[in-house]
């Protein structure tokens, strides 16, 4: 019993420590309280400096593994002239952002936008803080500001050599006016940005201390497990709570919304066990007979439809193809896929008649706050969201459905914090899926093998229609054309084709779509790059040379393609039994290409030996983290290409866990060589773009190895056995 007592106390301490961590994020409202005490001077919105010189950089975007936290801190620290070893970070809350007139601007973390869309203002935040610190020192010394220099968190009065550290003048600096205009350093003077500094968030991920949303523990907290109608569009009719109320730990069974029911219990395992035993009646709604086959038929119809939204047009594609010497046609398809974040969806909410607070992993703190406000019935000023690191996001946690649910549950337990955690099965069944599409590619070659016309007809799902219909332009979804556009951050299309038509017949099945790492670049790159390969073979021209001829006006696209071709040894004989494939595309503001070396056994087993990737993201903030993103994107992209599809039967998703929805594992992982070619004249993203080139490079290599062209994903469905 003595041991038990020790453990009980220890467990309690542990629980309190976890709660204290949460309180630090939340209840104490760190800045305003700290400011009032004058303990940790906020020099400006982005920079807090403690008297002992510790620097805390505020990070508005969410860390989900992609390293944006460290990259953004590097950008602030660079202009701050900070001693990097003293830099840590904290998340401001979206509620605080609202109260402070959105001083931290956008919290949304998706589309590889974290750094490319905020580098300017976070650097300005760092620069402004540095100027204020220098001003404060100069004032204290009674010397002109221009005679002072800042470096590594130390201000030096150059003529006398006097020095003072940031921590000593931070309180005085905080009282000065924030300068309106600041000059940023040229890239050539960077000492922190562009360097492979270590991540700021690693240690706690090695010892179990990192608190994810699923780990949140608050005093008196209960746990909830939830089931929504597995058929999209269906509703909850009834449930028999009496059947499970006597089960261990069960506190309450609640209807959450028109389609979900939750069991609340002392512990989550108890809640889930009771939920599994709960008799539930669903009304499966209007889509109860939908299946993968009916959805595919709808998409196939769209391939030939008269009406379609135009995405990119030049000349007369159909006419040019009709009069071409050779016509090449192929139809491709891409399935629904679940994000399958390692940490299932979750949120913890505390609702009282006075306020509503939520602790959650979210890619968009402000969207989570909006969801909490709406579900709680409280005004914005009485709600807040405390962000924790995400156990994966990949786009799924840009949605706030699970936040809404958590608040609706907590509202039925006033004063008691409730943690809602989805089971893996719920996570698989209630996704916002990678959109399903098909594409019919038709190309016309002249007698010399030049591509004179290309028509790409996409048929299928629009993400915006499901997620943000007000973003449609007269019904047209511009996001569909990612990588295929005439210009801009999501394009330009890499090939100069005199007669071009890329259009979209929108066909929206009942399965909800979502932004999924790589978004529409994934399938668009497969469709275009595999078909380019088909055209090259039809023309009897080397696939690299065939592309080169079309890339005279897109040198940045061509540069990354040439780099991977060189890296993989294009043109020299492949190692015995292996073959090579190439792909390139531009999206999320960056130019990317990949070259793969693949073998296919007689039994049809595919092995990817090596991938060379090249990225031109304009600027590289942390090369080690960019390399990690490139490798990681290939795992995500190749998992999707090889293994993953969510099929539909009786209106619902069939695959419920990793046994039927496998992910790539270490034994399938190829060697990855990542080439960075930053041209220094723009800012592009890196979390996503390379995901799109892995699959087409591998698929083109599979063709080179086998002579079989796979046009339908995932590859597990393809029969590549040799006769």
Site for another protein in 398-437 (CB under 8 A): 421, 423-424
**Closer residue to another protein (CB): 152 or 205:** 205
**Closer residue to another protein (CB): 510 or 643:** 643
Distance separating alpha carbons of residues 159 and 149, to the nearest angstrom: 10
Calculate the alpha carbon distances from 640 to 216, 531, 691, 692 in Å.
31, 19, 10, 11
129's tokens: 């803080």
Q: Does 84 bind another protein (CB under 8 A)?
A: no
List the one residue from 20, 203, 322, 575 that touches another protein (CB under 8 A): 203
For the CB of residue 626, give the shortest distance to another protein in the complex, in Å.
12
Q: Does 205 bind another protein (CB under 8 A)?
A: yes
Distance separating alpha carbons of residues 399 and 427, to the nearest angstrom: 13
List the one residue from 94, 114, 335, 393 that touches another protein (CB under 8 A): 393
**Closer residue to another protein (CB): 50 or 424:** 424
Q: Does 518 bind another protein (CB under 8 A)?
A: no
Distance separating alpha carbons of residues 272 and 250, to the nearest angstrom: 10
Cα angle 61-62-67, degrees, rounded to a multiple of 5: 95
Q: Are strands 346-351 and 148-151 parallel, antiparallel or unpaired?
A: unpaired
- Residue pair 224/278 in contact (Cβ under 8 Å)? The answer is no
Q: Which stretch binds another protein (CB under 8 A): 351-359, 483-491, 596-604, 621-629?
A: 621-629
Site for another protein in 41-70 (CB under 8 A): 63-67
For the CB of residue 155, give the shortest distance to another protein in the complex, in Å.
32
**Closer residue to another protein (CB): 8 or 28:** 8
List the one residue from 198, 258, 313, 716 that touches another protein (CB under 8 A): 198
- Residue pair 201/63 in contact (Cβ under 8 Å)? The answer is yes
- Residue pair 570/558 in contact (Cβ under 8 Å)? The answer is no
Q: Which stretch binds another protein (CB under 8 A): 177-185, 454-462, 495-503, 660-668?
A: 660-668
Calculate the alpha carbon distances from 22 to 162, 269, 665 in Å.
42, 22, 33
Q: Does 71 bind another protein (CB under 8 A)?
A: no
**Closer residue to another protein (CB): 264 or 328:** 264
Residues near another protein (CB under 8 A), total: 75
Q: Is the dihedral of CA 389, 391, 397, 398 positive or negative?
A: positive
List the one residue from 55, 263, 390, 410 that touches another protein (CB under 8 A): 390
For the CB of residue 696, give the shortest distance to another protein in the complex, in Å.
18
Helices 119-141 & 68-80, crossing angle to 10 degrees? Answer: 30
**Closer residue to another protein (CB): 389 or 476:** 389
In 3D, which of 604, 451, 441 has the Cα closest to residue 523?
A: 441
For the CB of residue 423, give the shortest distance to another protein in the complex, in Å.
7
Distance separating alpha carbons of residues 295 and 647, to the nearest angstrom: 10
Task: Write the interaction track for another protein spanning residues 328-367; mark x where CB under 8 A is met and - where it is not.
Answer: ------------xxxxx-----------------------
Q: Please list the alpha-helical segments (H only) found in 569-690.
A: 623-642
Q: Strand, coil or helix: what is 129?
A: helix
Q: Does 634 bind another protein (CB under 8 A)?
A: yes
> Residue 673's CB: how many other CB atoms inside 10 A?
17
List the one residue from 108, 223, 482, 590 that touches another protein (CB under 8 A): 223
List the one residue from 631, 645, 655, 688 that touches another protein (CB under 8 A): 631
List the one residue from 146, 161, 186, 208 that touches another protein (CB under 8 A): 208
Q: Does 206 bind another protein (CB under 8 A)?
A: yes
**Closer residue to another protein (CB): 46 or 661:** 661
- Residue pair 128/44 in contact (Cβ under 8 Å)? The answer is yes
Q: Are strands 55-58 and 87-90 parallel, antiparallel or unpaired?
A: parallel
Q: Does 243 bind another protein (CB under 8 A)?
A: no
**Closer residue to another protein (CB): 280 or 628:** 628
**Closer residue to another protein (CB): 456 or 608:** 608
For the CB of residue 280, give the shortest distance to another protein in the complex, in Å.
20
Task: Write the interaction track for another protein spanning residues 4-43; mark x where CB under 8 A is met and - where it is not.
Answer: x-xxx-xxx-xx--x-------------------------
For the CB of residue 78, give the shortest distance to another protein in the complex, in Å.
19
**Closer residue to another protein (CB): 230 or 632:** 632
Q: 441 phi and psi, to 5 degrees?
A: -105, 125
List the one residue from 156, 210, 291, 323 that touches another protein (CB under 8 A): 210
Q: Does 211 bind another protein (CB under 8 A)?
A: yes
Cα angle 187-191-195, degrees, rounded to a multiple of 5: 90
Site for another protein in 667-706 (CB under 8 A): 667, 669, 671-672
Q: Which 3-state string (H, E, C) describes 493-557?
A: CCCCCCEEEEEEEECCCCCCECCCCCCCHHHHHHHHHHHHHHHHHHHCCCHHHHHHHHCCCCHHH
In 3D, which of 331, 397, 395, 394 has the Cα closest to residue 362?
A: 397
Q: Does 245 bind another protein (CB under 8 A)?
A: no
Q: Does 88 bind another protein (CB under 8 A)?
A: no
For the CB of residue 485, give the shortest distance to another protein in the complex, in Å.
28
List the one residue from 40, 554, 578, 633 that touches another protein (CB under 8 A): 633
DSSP state of 337: B
Start-to-end Cα distance in the chain: 70
Site for another protein in 255-314 (CB under 8 A): 267-270, 273
Site for another protein in 160-179 (CB under 8 A): none
Q: Which stretch binds another protein (CB under 8 A): 160-168, 178-186, 197-205, 535-543?
A: 197-205
- Residue pair 260/253 in contact (Cβ under 8 Å)? The answer is no
Q: Does 207 bind another protein (CB under 8 A)?
A: yes
Q: Which stretch binds another protein (CB under 8 A): 153-161, 557-565, 583-591, 653-661?
A: 653-661
In 3D, which of 116, 115, 109, 128 has the Cα closest to residue 46?
A: 128
For the CB of residue 89, give the shortest distance to another protein in the complex, in Å.
15
Q: Which 3-state string (H, E, C) describes 586-603?
A: EECCEEEEEEEEEEECCC
> Residue 541's CB: how many other CB atoms inside 10 A?
19
721's tokens: 């056995």
Q: Does 575 bind another protein (CB under 8 A)?
A: no
Distance separating alpha carbons of residues 638 and 669, to the nearest angstrom: 9
**Closer residue to another protein (CB): 499 or 622:** 622
- Residue pair 62/365 in contact (Cβ under 8 Å)? The answer is yes
């Amino acid at each position: 019993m003595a041991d038990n007592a020790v453990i009980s106390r220890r467990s309690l301490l542990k629980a309190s420590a976890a709660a204290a961590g949460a309180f630090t994020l939340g209840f104490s409202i760190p800045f305003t309280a700290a400011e009032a005490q004058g303990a940790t001077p906020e020099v400006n919105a982005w920079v807090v400096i403690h008297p002992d010189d510790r620097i805390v950089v505020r990070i508005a975007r969410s860390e989900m593994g992609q390293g944006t936290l460290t990259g953004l801190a590097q950008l602030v620290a660079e202009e701050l002239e900070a001693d990097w070893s003293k830099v840590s970070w904290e998340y401001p809350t979206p509620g605080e952002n609202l109260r402070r007139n959105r001083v931290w601007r956008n919290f949304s973390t998706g589309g590889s936008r974290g750094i490319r869309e905020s580098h300017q203002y976070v650097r300005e935040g760092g620069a402004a803080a540095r100027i204020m610190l220098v001003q404060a020192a100069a004032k204290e010394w009674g010397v002109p500001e221009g005679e002072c220099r800042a470096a590594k968190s130390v201000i030096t009065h150059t003529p006398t050599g006097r020095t003072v550290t940031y921590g000593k003048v931070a309180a005085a600096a905080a009282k000065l006016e924030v300068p309106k205009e600041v000059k940023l350093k040229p890239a050539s003077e960077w000492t922190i940005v562009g360097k492979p500094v270590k991540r700021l968030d690693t240690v706690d991920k090695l010892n179990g201390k990192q608190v994810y949303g699923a780990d949140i523990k608050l005093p008196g907290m209960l746990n909830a497990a939830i089931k929504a109608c597995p058929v999209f569009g269906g509703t909850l009719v009834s449930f028999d709570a009496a059947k499970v109320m006597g089960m261990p730990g069960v506190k309450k069974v609640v209807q959450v919304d028109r389609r979900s029911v939750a069991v609340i219990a002392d512990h989550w395992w108890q809640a889930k066990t009771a939920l599994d035993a709960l008799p539930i009646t669903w009304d499966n709604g209007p889509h109860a007979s939908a299946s993968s086959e009916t959805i595919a038929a709808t998409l196939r119809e769209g391939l030939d439809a008269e009406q379609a939204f135009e995405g990119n047009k030049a000349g007369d594609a159909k006419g040019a193809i009709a009069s071409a010497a050779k016509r090449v046609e192929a139809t491709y398809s891409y399935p629904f896929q679940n994000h399958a974040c390692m940490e299932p969806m979750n949120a913890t909410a505390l609702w009282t008649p006075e306020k509503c607070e939520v602790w959650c992993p979210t890619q968009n703190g402000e969207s989570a706050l909006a969801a909490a406000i709406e579900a709680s019935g409280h005004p914005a000023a009485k709600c807040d969201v405390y962000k924790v690191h995400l156990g994966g996001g990949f786009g799924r946690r840009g949605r706030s459905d699970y936040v809404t649910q958590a608040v609706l549950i907590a509202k039925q337990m006033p004063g008691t914090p409730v943690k809602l955690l989805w089971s893996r099965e719920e996570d698989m069944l209630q996704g916002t899926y990678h959109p399903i599409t098909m594409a019919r590619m038709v190309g016309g070659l002249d007698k010399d093998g030049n591509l004179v016309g290309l028509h790409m007809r996409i048929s299928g799902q629009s993400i915006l229609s499901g997620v943000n219909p007000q973003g449609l332009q007269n019904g047209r979804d511009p996001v569909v054309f990612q990588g295929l556009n005439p210009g801009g951050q999501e394009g330009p299309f890499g090939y100069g084709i005199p007669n071009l038509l890329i259009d979209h017949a929108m066909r929206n099945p009942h399965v909800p779509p979502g932004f999924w790492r790589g978004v529409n670049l994934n399938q668009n790159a497969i469709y275009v790059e595999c078909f380019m390969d088909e055209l090259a073979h039809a023309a009897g021209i080397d696939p690299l040379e065939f592309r080169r001829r079309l890339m005279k006006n897109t040198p940045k696209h061509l540069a990354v393609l040439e780099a991977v071709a060189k890296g993989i040894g294009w043109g020299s004989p492949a190692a015995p039994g292996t073959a090579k494939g190439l792909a390139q595309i531009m999206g999320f503001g960056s130019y990317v290409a990949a070259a793969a070396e693949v073998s296919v056994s007689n039994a049809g087993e595919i092995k990817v030996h090596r991938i060379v990737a090249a990225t031109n993201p304009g600027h590289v903030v942390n090369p080690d983290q960019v390399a990690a993103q490139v490798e990681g994107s290939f795992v995500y992209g190749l998992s999707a290409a090889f293994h993953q599809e969510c099929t539909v039967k009786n209106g619902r998703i069939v695959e419920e866990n990793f046994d039927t929805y496998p992910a790539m594992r270490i034994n399938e992982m190829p060697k990855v060589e990542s080439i960075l070619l930053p041209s220094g004249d723009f800012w592009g993203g890196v979390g996503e773009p390379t995901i799109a080139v892995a699959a087409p490079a591998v698929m083109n290599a599979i063709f080179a190895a086998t002579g079989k062209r796979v046009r339908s994903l995932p590859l597990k469905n393809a029969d590549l056995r040799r006769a």
